[in-house]
């Protein structure tokens, strides 16, 4: 599936996005980039014993990107992984509504970190990867509010059981760092990496 829109940048070579996330597609679309979507089918293993959250996010992003790159030799592949971290503990996607309530209750009134790691595989096969962290402050929400949010269905497939760009925006009082990083892709940092490697360039008029 190709995505094309007029925006402030243009691609010098097609990018393969190794993610099925509609949020990541929207972020790249807004930049005007030409890309194709090929979601990774790699399994997401649990963190290794003693593995730091940032290292885990980087490992997942690289694993997904490398898996897709096997089908696109000599192409530019971009993959990413986003995790929610509370007190150094990684909070994955909820298994069910009860788990979503447990996760949201734990986040309520606290500050947590969202780490998005991305991996870029260049046509030469070189791998470039980085991770960005954003601090997120959550309001104190009642159990009734959280149950009402869970009833919308939005939290079920989201890391940490909420979406800052969706209905879950009411849960957040402040962020320190990249907003798009919380959405799922640190756009400014990814943009710099793509520009530095001549994958994209500014569209002049």
Q: Residue 205's CB: how many other CB atoms inside 10 A?
A: 3
| Dihedral sign computed on CA atoms, order 41, 155, 101, 51 | positive
- Catalytic annotation on 135? no
Beta strand 127-138 pairing with 172-176: antiparallel
Beta strands in the chain (DSSP E): 2-3, 9-11, 15-17, 35-37, 76-86, 89-91, 111-121, 127-138, 172-176, 200-202
Residue length, the chain? 205
Chain centroid, CA 100 distance in Å: 19
DSSP letter at 147?
H
Q: How many CA atoms lie within 13 A of 132 on its CB side?
A: 21
Q: Are 65 and 119 in contact (CB under 8 A)?
A: yes
Q: Which position among 81, 89, 99, 157 bears the catalytic label?
A: 81
Q: Which residues belong to the active site? A: 81
């Amino acid at each position: 599936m190709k995505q094309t829109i007029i925006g402030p940048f243009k691609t010098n070579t097609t990018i393969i996005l190794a993610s099925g996330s509609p949020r990541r597609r929207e972020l790249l679309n807004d930049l005007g980039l030409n890309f194709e979507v090929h979601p990774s089918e790699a399994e997401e293993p649990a963190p290794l014993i003693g593995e730091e959250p940032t290292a885990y996010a980087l490992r997942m992003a690289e694993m997904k990107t490398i898996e897709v790159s096997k089908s696109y030799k000599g192409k530019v592949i971009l993959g990413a992984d986003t995790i929610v971290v509370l007190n150094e503990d990684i909070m994955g996607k909820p298994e069910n509504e009860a788990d979503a309530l447990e996760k949201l209750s734990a986040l309520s009134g606290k500050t947590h970190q969202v780490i998005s790691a991305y991996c870029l595989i260049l046509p030469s096969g070189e791998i470039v990867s980085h991770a960005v962290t954003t601090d997120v402050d959550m309001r104190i929400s009642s159990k009734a509010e959280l149950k009402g949010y869970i009833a919308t269905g939005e939290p079920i497939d989201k890391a940490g059981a909420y979406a800052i760009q969706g209905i879950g925006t009411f849960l957040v009082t402040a962020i320190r760092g990249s907003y798009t990083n919380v959405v799922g892709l640190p756009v400014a940092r990814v943009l710099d990496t793509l520009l530095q490697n001549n994958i994209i360039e500014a569209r002049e008029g």
